[in-house]
A and B are shown apart, each in its own frame.
Chain A
Amino acid sequence: MSETTLLQVNDLRTSFFTDSGEVKAVNGLSFSLERGKVLGIVGESGSGKSVTAYSLLRILTDSGRVTGGQVLFNGENILEFSPQKMHSFRGSRISMIFQDPMTSLNPVYTVGNQLREAIRIHTDRTPEQVRERALEMLQLVGVNEPEKRLTQYPHELSGGMRQRVMIAMALACEPDILIADEPTTALDVTIQAQILELMQELQHKLGMSIIMITHDLGVIADICDEIIVMYAGRVCERGTADEIFYNPCHEYTKGLIRSIPTIGANHDKLIPIAGNPVDLLNLPKGCAFASRCDQAMKICLTDAPEEIRINENHIAACWMNVKKVYDEAKEEESK
């Protein structure tokens, strides 16, 4: 673990125990987050990206349980914290903003009340200082007329304004890590641009790390330093934004990039990924993506691929990379 590593996740496993059986939402996920960096987690619904975030903060629903692995924050395993310690840890060191700002704010309390609560719980400021801090936070996130907003209820604010309030709450105690779970999915494109711009600006100003969870490859390309592509609870591929977009080494990532339209006068047919997402109740033995992959080989059906280092900025879990090395070696030999 290097000096600048803030969070290290090792072989994280999370399952939900339902009436129909164990749903393995996260299956051995490992990654590290550097101080002051933006890490993007991209994947489709059911890929385990949100469950990963909930596991880090230990806010899973009753049926969900972390069944293995470690989450090291500054060398300490969060998963072993007592509930009390976790309570003070959440919000002050790692905080989270959610997709839908309407349902994550309490409709019966004013914005000021909720914002002050977040500050009061984690600091021992006087009521006057708490109020000042709340105002300061609203100004920081670019809410106009902050004095008036403190007395308003969430329904009186627009979607973009609510998301700004959520960000103000999440950052009020200066956390080291901000987890943003689809923070702009519910917003219109011009408001999305405002919020993304704000998050980048705050990240530069406050120097925190961000884990950005989204299904939108555009959002990921815009603001992330490093990207993890998830499928069926596992990492397919991990690397810098340039590596993932310009040198994808997993068939799933390649498929995702091919399947989205690009800007400009290009009306070529899209190449979709065939089939449907896997059933997490019955995960296949080999690679989870094998049934939808047009390059699948025999080994893909029997053995889950290991993570292979492509270069110092890039890791991929796909057997094709092994085949490539093997083919190259064979070619070399025949020469």
Chain B
Amino acid sequence: MSNHPLVDVRHLKQYFTVKSDMLTKLQLKAVDDVSFTINQGETLGLVGESGCGKTTVGRTLLRLYKPTAGEVYFDGNLITDDNINHYRKDMQIVFQDPYSSLNPRMTMADIVGEPLDIHGLYKTKAERRDKIAELVQLVGLNSDHMRRYAHEFSGGQRQRIGIARALAVNPRFIVCDEPVSALDVSIQAQIINTFEELQAKLGIAYLFIAHDLLVVQHMSQRIAVMYLGKIVEIGPADEIIEHPVHPYTQSLISAIPLPDPNAARKRHRIILQGDVPSPLHMPEGCPFRSRCRYATEECAKVCPTLEEVSSGHQVACYHPQG
């Protein structure tokens, strides 16, 4: 057992330049100084509202975008432009939309087989065929349907094809970018269970990105909460859900619609005023202060950094609650 984490993200920044009109260019800080680690076989949940940068974290980490600054280490090795192709075999992604992430002109066998072709992971055609059949069965699909096209499958089945494609190269880490958001409730549970079974069987680590906190809590050992490009709180999943410390996390958790009428009647929703500010015009200091009821002058000056409040539980706030 090595003593370094499987994935180690340090001070990752991803800025995009946006033209606001003919002359002025603005910088959009989609990800602003984000650091975290993920251990072998662990699931880190990443939550936040739309536009907070959670998808960008996943994509920048895989170098689907070229990071503005910061380093990503995989298994102790720094990932660079030169060696990323080698590490693609270890780091894969499953996308949100099972409709647009599969090529409609390819059969299931070709979709799942493409990563094998790219990385040359077979010697004979028969070996390729067997590998594909094995992958397809692993994710719970029927290998008799190899010649079918994506549109002939249901949403849940398509998501399984996406998972089989990610698994084809035997990855040790998968970024799951909202993999169940587009699915119906009864199908969501099937896919969540598939992810969990694969983790138990193959020891894969996940970065599980989602906006549904109940799903994230269920899937993850640890959770990171993002707001406007920064991680505001990170810690063990149950602790984040039951004893959140950052005012934003508290309101986020109090806003979860609870599928339990008694619990819903009893709890007190902390309603945030207003909307998320535009990431193009971020407030100085703490990004959350414009909606925070505990905000003081201090919050307007310098952005707080992550400080440990209890073992493994860090929060970036001058006025942690609870």
Contact = CB atoms under 8 A, between A and B. Distances in A.
Pair from one complex: yes
Interface of A: 44-45, 144, 158, 160-161, 188-194, 196-197, 215-222, 241-242, 245-246, 255-265, 267, 269-274, 276-277
A300 B135 CA distance: 36
A242 B186 contact: no
B63 interface: no
Given A219-B257, A259-B189, A272-B188, 8 more contacts: A160-B275, A161-B275, A188-B276, A190-B252, A218-B258, A220-B259, A260-B259, A261-B215
Contacts of B185: 44, 215, 217, 256, 259-260
Pairs of residues from A and B, 8 with the lowest C-beta to C-beta distance, nearest first: A218-B257, A272-B189, A193-B255, A259-B189, A261-B218, A273-B186, A188-B49, A217-B259
B211 A189 contact: yes
B196 interface: yes
Interface size class of B (residues with CB under 8 A): 35 or more
A217 B218 CA distance: 17
Contacts of A259: 185-186, 188-189
Nearest to A241: B261
Contacts of B274: 144
**Could you say which of B154, B189, B193 has the most chain A C-beta atoms within 10 Å of its C-beta?**
B189
Interface of B: 49-50, 154, 156-157, 184-190, 192-193, 196, 211, 213-215, 217-218, 238, 241-242, 251-252, 254-264, 269, 271-272, 274-276
Contact of B260 (A161, A196, A245, A270): A245
Contacts of A276: 154, 156-157, 187
A220 B185 CA distance: 14
B275 A191 contact: yes
Nearest to A274: B190
**Secondary structure type dominating chain B contacts:** helix
Given A44-B186, A261-B215, A270-B192, A222 B251 contact: no
A190 B49 contact: yes
**Could you say which of A44, A161, A191, A272 has the most chain B C-beta atoms within 10 Å of its C-beta?**
A272
Contacts of B157: 276
A272 B193 contact: yes
Contact of A256 (B156, B186, B242, B272): B186
Contacts, number: 129
A35 B310 CA distance: 51
A245 B185 CA distance: 16
A258 B192 CA distance: 13
Nearest to A191: B275
Given A188-B211, A190-B252, A44 B257 contact: no
A47 to B, nearest CB: 9
A190 to B, nearest CB: 5
B241 A158 contact: no
B225 to A, nearest CB: 12
B241 A263 contact: yes
A218 B187 contact: no
Contacts of A261: 192, 214-215, 217-218
Contact of A271 (B189, B214, B217, B260): B189
Contact of A190 (B214, B255, B263, B264): B255
A265 B242 contact: yes
A281 to B, nearest CB: 14
A44 B275 contact: no
Contact of B256 (A44, A189, A272): A189
7 contacts: A189-B255, A192-B257, A197-B269, A218-B214, A245-B261, A260-B214, A270-B192
B260 to A, nearest CB: 6
A220 B264 CA distance: 10
B275 A273 contact: no
A215 B180 CA distance: 14
Contacts of A191: 49, 275
B116 to A, nearest CB: 28
A215 B184 contact: yes
Contacts of B258: 218, 221-222, 263
A191 B156 CA distance: 28
B187 A272 contact: yes
Nearest to A271: B189
B272 A272 contact: no
A250 B102 CA distance: 36
Nearest to B157: A276
Nearest to A252: B186
B282 to A, nearest CB: 16
Contacts of A271: 189
A158 B275 contact: yes
B271 A194 contact: yes
